[in-house]
Chains A and B, each alone.
Chain A
């Protein structure tokens, strides 16, 4: 199975900050990567698919980049509703595998 290594596991940031989360795949996965946001007690929400495509309805402050093995999720200006946990997911092949998650907390 492809291993997804996500970092950092947590970070503290302020409203308005630029935030970057990275994900590294154990082998090349083309651009078959998604990013999700999850709030406590809620289902995950798809933010980005195909590494850099913004899901409909998601604010443009979210962006994704990368291909092959290294990927990045960037929030350009952190808003109060963005404090949540973020996961990457490779959908290059089955079994699908998630990163361990990054909890974004208020500084």
Chain B
């Protein structure tokens, strides 16, 4: 069974940083591209970032480029999102998701971790 479990969210002041993690199990992690998607309270879904299966290629939404960094450790079956220079508008539930084999459609999702940016 595919499982994705996010952690690392919390309350942080504007300008602060966090590292989000996503532990994967139930599939060959190193074979799949992965994405982060977020959802602000009461709002729709926003794709944030993606990384290729090897980690060699990364993509970012314009809203986070230069502030967020996606990475992965295939030996630990773990995906990361380093979030820096946080703003109030980054407050959201952050989901990690596996992308379908040879496609970019996220198919399996974690339960999400809440990041709240507030003073």
Interface residues of A (CB under 8 A from B): 1, 32, 34, 36, 38, 42-46, 49-50, 55, 87, 89, 91, 94-101
Give Cα A95 to B37, complex, Å: 11
Interface SS, B side: strand
B100: Cβ under 8 A from any A Cβ: yes
The number of residues on chain B lying at the interface, defined by a beta carbon within 8 Å of a beta carbon of chain A, is: 24
Q: How many residue pairs between the two chains, A and B, have CB atoms under 8 Å in the bound complex?
A: 62
Residues of B within 8 A of A97 (CB): 47
- Known contacts A44-B109, A89-B105, A91-B105: does B50 contact A96 (CB below 8 Å)? yes
B107 with A87: CB separation less than 8 A: no
Interface residues of B (CB under 8 A from A): 35, 37, 44-47, 50, 59-62, 95, 99-100, 103-112
